[in-house]
Amino acid sequence: MTGTTPELACPITPVVDIVFSRWTTPILWSLKEYGRQRFVELERRIGTITPKVLTQRLRQLERDGLVVRTYHAEVPPRVEYEISELGRSLGPLFASLSEWSGNLGKVEEAREAYDSRSRSSSR
């Protein structure tokens, strides 16, 4: 019996790997919502990300074609990041996920019910 590749088993797996890796979604969301930003602006908007990780994620997003980095040769030098056309194409996905976030209360209720049942059955 031969195995199926993850991409064939679930064709969105590669998309999830790219778009939903740690910190990618908040970076793309911020660039989509607020437009072109400098590194420090992005860092402040996201909040808890370290400069090292933000640099790594921005490089990967640039490599994936989702973010455009623009270097301005002035004194002092200025670098700005913006979401690319390819990155903007994720807009409907983000809108759907934002709408679905209205279900988070139901998720919490389901967790509480599950945890309550688990505690009762383990006695």
**What's domain 6-89's architecture?**
Orthogonal Bundle (1.10)
What percentage of the chain exceeds 90 in pLDDT?
76
Strands (E), the chain: 37-38, 67-72, 78-83
pLDDT by residue (tens digit) across 21-53?
889 999 999 999 999 999 999 999 999 999 999
Q: What is the pTM of this model?
A: 0.80
What residue spans define the domains of the chain? 6-89
Beta-carbon contacts of residue 6 (< 8 Å; ≥ 6 apart) = 13
* The predicted structure's pLDDT at residue 51: 96
